[in-house]
Amino acid sequence: MLFNSIEFIIFFVVVVSVIYTIKIRKFQHLFLLLASYFFFYYSSNYLIVLLIFTTIWDFYFGEMIYKAHTMKTKKIILAISLAGNLGLLGFFKYSNFAITQFNIMGNYFDFKEQVPLLEIALPIAISFYTFHSITYTVSIYRNQITPVKFLDYAIFVSFFPQLVAGPILRAKEFLPQLREKLDNLQNLRLKQIIIENSNLKFGITMMALGFFKKMFFADNIAPMVNDIFLNPIGSDSITIVLGAIGFGIQIYCDFSGYSDIAIGAALIMGFKIPINFNKPYFATSPADFWRRWHISLSTWLRDYLYIPLGGNRGSKFRTYLNLISVMFIGGLWHGASWNFVIWGLLHGMYLAIHKLFSDKFPGLKNNKFFNSKAGKIVSILVTQYFVFLAWIPFRIGDLDAALYSMSKYMLFDFKTHDTISFLAGHKLPIVLMMLFISLSFILYVKPNLYTRISNLKIKYWTLFLTSIMIMVFLFYNGDSLDFIYFKF
């Protein structure tokens, strides 16, 4: 069920209406779980059994970890739990990729037999709900939480607003909200989720702007990006650069738009889930970029992978290796394809090189130039040059086409004979890209857009949202395009 569809709007209105009407918290949560399962079944049919299996698997392993008497036993149980989660993820997401690589090696060594590919579908959202579930058992192992009732845990794993594409939830942050609602309502003698006016207004604002990002910007820039990268070999540098910038804007508006809709929908129902983006294209370094882009994933990788690997506690070489290894896994998490591995390795190298320079020249942090306005502009431009370079292999699955495009991006050829005709054929995407850049700069200078809008008087707030929706429908081409991160 796509967020940008009439089916979802009807579904969400019904869910909110029922939750608001039901006065007993237990039944509210039971209905919310059933609604989440319906949402997932509508999107993936029988593959919902994998979601239910993961939920049951980690719920009982969480109980066993909590009841274990020795640290050694806890570690063994946690290892089995992680093996089950990652084994399921690996089988469905990476089996055919591994078989393909094996067959390629077999051709190299003249093996006569080829291993046939498995006829399996990639379960929607498996990368996300696997990471959600892992946080539960690990948090119990780390004594950060205690086991909860199955109903609460099942809601946490399957919570429909962010189930398909995040933000990635953490058990220790989400589960207490289910209990706090009961505690906060004891004086009222009402066990229900409160939908406050402030939550409703702010949530609707976030959802509206999320739809605007996705349907106004991302979906209308996508055709130009598709034209460029469908067969980029032979294109000049200007075309490739426009494609890289266009895709960078498209994926940001697409993914952050989804996140805004998810956060807004959750807030309307009384739940707070973490922000996922914070002006990433104004990052001043690779490390700063990952503090701003897909925040829930980058912090998950930091806390559940980078730090357990040793983080920056070992030698400098080990730290650099950890950074590259974590981003390699982060790239592979996005998809079973070498282009995602290249994207992850590039970002790993960016982080390692940035860390190397920071270690070699610690005084740069206090350098007058880099702390000046001009220095920050230079830092932003240099950082984004490499960020948008990495978007090329992320977007292009064919390695030859990706390498050609990257070479044209880095070694500018200054050819312009096809530029005017290309721009003339893609007027709307070019205008939208320029508008996005302008609006992004304004919002960078004057932040807190969502708060400013939601605090408007009701008549001005309604007028603003109506204008946003009119713009969306005026430029809507009739096709509900999938969100990019649905495939991950």
Whether 426 is a known active-site residue: answer: no
| Residue that is written with structure tokens 């009841």 in the block | 67
Given the residues 334, 347, 354, 426, select the one marked as catalytic: 334
Instruction: Spell out a b/e string for 41-80, using b for 16 or more CB atoms within 10 Å of the CB, else e.
Output: eebbeebbebbeebbebbbebbebbbebeeeeebeebbee
> What is the Cα–Cα distance from 448 to 358, expressed in whole angstroms?
31
Evaluate if residue 187 carries a pLDDT over 80. Answer: no
198: exposed, middle or buried (Cβ count in 10 Å: 0-12, 13-18, 19+): exposed
Amino acid present at 372 = S
Q: List phi, psi (to 5°) of 256.
A: -70, -30
**pLDDT (mean) for 390-412:** 93
- pLDDT tens for each residue of 87-105: 999 898 888 888 888 888 8
- pLDDT tens for each residue of 341-386: 999 999 999 999 999 988 887 777 777 777 788 889 999 999 999 9
> What is the Cα–Cα distance from 142 to 151, expressed in whole angstroms?
22
- pLDDT tens for each residue of 417-454: 777 888 888 889 999 999 999 999 988 888 788 888 88
| Contact between 468 and 209 (Cβ < 8 Å) | yes
What pLDDT does 274 receive?
86
Sketch the domain layout of the chain as residue ranges: 6-194, 198-487
What pLDDT does 197 receive?
56
Distances (CA, A) of 374 to 357, 369, 371, 378: 20, 7, 8, 6
> What is the Cα–Cα distance from 288 to 297, expressed in whole angstroms?
14
280 token code pair: 């990433």
Evaluate if residue 334 carries a pLDDT over 60. Answer: yes
The pTM score is: 0.90
134 token code pair: 């892992």
